[in-house]
Structure 1
Amino acid sequence: MTTELQMLVWSVILGLAQIAIAAVGSMAQRGPGWAASARDGSAAPLTGVPGRLDRARANFLETFAFFAALVLAVVAMGKQDATSALGAQLYFWARLVYVPVYAAGIPYLRTLVWAVSIVGIVMLLAALL
Structure 2
Amino acid sequence: MADKLTQLQDAVDQLANQFVASLYYVHKHHDLKTLGASDKIREEKKDEAAQREPDIEPVSADEFKAGQKELAQDLIMKEQQIELLISVLPGLDNSENDQERMIRQLEDELKAAEEKRREAVKEKEEVLARLEGVIRSVKRP
TM range (shorter): 0.3 to 0.5
TM-score under structure 1 normalisation? 0.38
- Greater share of helix: 1
TM-score under structure 2 normalisation? 0.36
